[in-house]
Amino acid sequence: MAAPEMGPGDRPGPWRRHRVTIAFLAPAAILLGIWIVYPTISTFIRSFFDREGSEFVGLDNYGEIFTTDLLVTAVKNNAIWLAVVPALVTAIGLVFGVLIERIRWSVAFRVAVFMPMAISLFAAGVIWRVMDQQDPEIGAINASIAIVADAVDPPGAFSDAQPSTKLVGGTIEEGLSFREPLATGDVVPLGLTAIPPDDVPDDAAQAREPDPVADGIAGVVWIDFLPGGGKPGVVEQEELGLPGVVMELRDEGGEAIETVETEPDGTFAFAGVEAAGATVAISPETFEEPFSGVDWLGPNLITPAVMIAYIWVWAGFAMVVIGAGLAALPRDVLEAARTDGASERQVFRRVTVPLLRPVLIVVFVTMLINVLKVFDIVLSVAPASSQDDANVIALAMWRTAFGGVNDFGLGSAIAVLLFLLVIPLLAFNVRSFRREV
Amino acid sequence: MATSVGHAEPAPVGPAVHEPGARRLGRLLSKTPLNLLLAFIGLLWLVPTLGLFLTSLLPADLISSEGWWNVFSAPSSTTFENYSALFRNDAITSALLTTVLVAIGGTVIPIFVGALAAYAFAWLEFPGRDWLFLLVVALLVVPLQMALIPMFSFYNDVGIFDTVLSLILFHTAFALPFAIFLLRNFFVGIPRDILESARIDGASEVKIFVRLILPLGLPAIASLAIFQFLWTWNDFLVALTFGRETQPITVAIFSQFRQFGANIELIAPAAFVSLAVPLAVFFAFQRYFVQGLLAGSVK
């Protein structure tokens, strides 16, 4: 019905048509122009000027990136990131992707591993900073390591103990020893203090002065402390003996020639020994400190610590993309290889991986780009004291421009460097992405 | 094989029935190590987030001296006191509000503006269309670090520095290249007949856009919206640069970092609240979420 009225004159003219087009495009054009095109050009130009922007300095700012220590560290660290993280993330994604094809609860596994992708890199950093605390009492990673470390190298029973009298000397590294010269038949009192109640063994009993041994040396190790003080060096009522302490009888050279463990009342005895010139000491193991925690957030390990957090976030991305690639593989090719007698490992290496190559490359390149821009998670994992050591390009850019130095010239140069590094990678990715679409 | 069937018939039925079961058991057993390994890895991936949550439940006087795993031996020691303190803290509540505003504005505006442009690139004829589209896609490669310094000065000159609007506009611009790219590719797939018949019926382009394109483009828009919402909600860099008083939650948490250990009773619950929203989005819209993220991975 409308057809007869559709004369050429009624169609919108070219100008009118373009007016509509312009209306549709204008908002985007204005936003892109002001917020992306103009700043990009401006940053390029700014990078050739000094800090205030008043003096043209040529390529000086770029030279500074590779000569200032702090910035060289950033470039080096970012190079390490590029070398380690994309490959690891891709490999982990591939392994997870292949393995979960063989289990029934793969959906649950994918949810668990992919979940960190939803979280901000900043919050992920907070999560890992809590995990990485040095004190094994509050840092979960060090607490886990402590379980193993303290099993392999058990801490001493009384790591905090101190001698109660001047008669007992030595250091906790060498073990505490009785200082007076000994004679056969002597009784050696080795009083200790500063032992937390939790450290006192359950079987500890009232300490007692041991009977002398005629042909050797006897002694007692006990908690020489009573509320209110008590008399140092004297075994008193209510003072407990320390059982299970390894005692060493040392010769003149300080070598242990005999060892014995204390009884529940703290007493011990070396029988049939020559006392002259010998010393009695509490073995150093008694005082060995427990595992004190790896300093993950310190200057030496901060980059690996941030990387672990980052890999935790991105592994799920790699797994899901590679998993989608795996699901799209031609089943008959895999089956044919299996029928021909190829082992699972051979199928994986000779068939699966080559067929997955394009997907693996996209994941790898995407991670290269992400790693070049890494920023948030470095700032949230690394304490201020470690940030110089954790520095990366994007962080160096921000700190130079906004972190107090406020050098817009150098900051612009670092931004341009980042841009130039990203361009080829993103161009590659967009091209392969378009091929897929 | 067919000939052996006759011979096999007298064989006891038992083994024949048991055989698959035994084999299944064997297969299950041979897969046990794999299942255990993957269960262990899966737990490993969940533990850090759980650790933050349990930390946030520790009472303030224990939080800096006790590990979160102690909660398992003393569940009664947990408390939501840190959370109620958090929501009584004006700096935090206003930061959350800022985050919500930025995330909503930074999602709705770029999608709307992007959809307008995408429609023009997909269905309106104009000279230089393909070149312009290519230029827009090329803008994908610009890292936002390139815009921080000029926009810092620009915002100060225009007088919108440290406002929610300045954050939203920045996010909008940097979302556009990808939004236009994705939506244009989706809109192109809408059958031409539908659009032509609407035009013949005299519908204006605006009407076509609102009544046809937006509803038909909903799957792509949804994926994009989720991706963009998370991107803006989770932003740290942009807000850190352009916000002083106007701080979203990430920056507000960061400002407590000077004494991480001492402020953990605030940092832990605040960080958990900030990640609870994206997690909820993740669990509610998993399918769109994965699609959006995968599509957005070129960004």
Checking if the pLDDT of B62 tops 90, the result is: no
Q: Does the beta-carbon distance from A418 to B145 stay under 8 Å? A: yes
Domain boundary, last residue among A267, A287, A307: A287
Is position A31 within any domain?
no
Residues A252 and A315 reside in one and the same domain: no
Is position A301 within any domain?
yes
**In chain B, how many H helices and how many E strands?**
15, 0
Q: Does the beta-carbon distance from B141 to A419 stay under 8 Å? A: yes
Chain A residues closer than 8 Å to B275 by CB: 118-120, 123
Condensed to tens digits (0 to 9), the pLDDT of residues A359-415 reads: 999 899 999 999 999 999 999 999 999 999 999 999 999 999 998 888 999 999 999
Is position A34 within any domain?
no
Q: Does the beta-carbon distance from A25 to B146 stay under 8 Å? A: no
Helix (H, G, I), strand (E, B) or coil at A153: coil
Condensed to tens digits (0 to 9), the pLDDT of residues B25-36 reads: 666 667 788 999
pTM of the model: 0.83
Chain B residues closer than 8 Å to A103 by CB: 31, 34-35, 38
Task: Give the closest of B126, B170, B293 to A117, CB-based.
Answer: B293
Residues A122 and A177 reside in one and the same domain: no
Q: Show the domains of chain B with their CATH numbers.
A: 2-79 (no CATH), 82-296 (1.10.3720.10)
Task: Give the closest of B151, B241, B297 to A35, CB-based.
Answer: B151
Mutate one of A130, A361, A363 to test the B interface: name it (highest B CB count within 10 A).
A130
pLDDT computed for residue B4 by the predictor: 37
Residues A255 and A313 reside in one and the same domain: no
Q: What is the pLDDT averaged over residues A335-354?
A: 87
Domain boundary, last residue among A269, A287, A305: A287
pLDDT computed for residue B93 by the predictor: 94
Q: What angle in degrees, to the nearest 10, is found between the helix axes of B90-123 and B81-88?
A: 80
Token code pair at residue A124: 């992920």
Chain A residues closer than 8 Å to B171 by CB: none
Can you tell me the distance from the alpha carbon of B20 to that of B25, in angstroms, rounded to the nearest whole number? 8
Judge whether B252 and B191 are in contact, CB under 8 Å. Answer: no
CA–CA min distance B10, chain A (Å): 32
Residues A333 and A254 reside in one and the same domain: no
Task: Give the closest of B200, B258, B297 to A366, CB-based.
Answer: B297
Domain boundary, last residue among A287, A321, A342: A287
Is position A46 within any domain?
no
Q: Does the beta-carbon distance from A380 to B209 stay under 8 Å? A: no
Higher local confidence (pLDDT), A397 or B60: A397
pLDDT computed for residue B38 by the predictor: 94
Task: Give the closest of B34, B236, B294 to A122, CB-based.
Answer: B236
Is position A40 within any domain?
no
Q: Does the beta-carbon distance from B142 to A40 stay under 8 Å? A: yes
Token code pair at residue A307: 């990387």
Query: Considering only CA atoms, which of A382, A172, A383 is closest in space to residue A283?
Result: A172
Q: Does the beta-carbon distance from A143 to B234 stay under 8 Å? A: no
Residues A140 and A166 reside in one and the same domain: no
Confidence band of A7 (pLDDT split at 50, 70, 90): very low
**Considering only A59-73, A159-173, B260-274, which range has the smallest mean pLDDT?**
A159-173
Is position A49 within any domain?
no
Is position A370 within any domain?
yes
Q: Does the beta-carbon distance from A39 to B236 stay under 8 Å? A: no
Can you tell me the distance from the alpha carbon of B232 to that of A274, in angstroms, rounded to the nearest whole number? 80
Token code pair at residue A379: 């700032």
Can you tell me the distance from the alpha carbon of B114 to that of B11, in angstroms, rounded to the nearest whole number? 72
Chain A residues closer than 8 Å to B298 by CB: 366, 426, 429-430, 433
Q: Cβ contacts of residue B92 below 8 Å, gap of 6+? A: B86, B249, B252, B266, B270
Is position A10 within any domain?
no
Residues A79 and A100 reside in one and the same domain: yes
Please list the residues that pair with A217 across neighbouring strands: A270
> Residue A277 is part of which domain span?
162-287
Where does residue A368 rank: exposed (0-12), middle (13-18), buried (19+ CB within 10 A)?
buried
Q: What average pLDDT does the structure give for chain B?
A: 86
Q: Does the beta-carbon distance from A115 to B230 stay under 8 Å? A: no
ipTM score above 0.90: no
CATH number at residue A357: 1.10.3720.10
Judge whether B97 and B196 are in contact, CB under 8 Å. Answer: no
**Considering only A335-339, B15-19, B138-142, B262-266, which range has the smallest mean pLDDT?**
B15-19
Number of domains in chain A: 2
Residues A224 and A172 reside in one and the same domain: yes
Higher local confidence (pLDDT), A331 or A297: A297
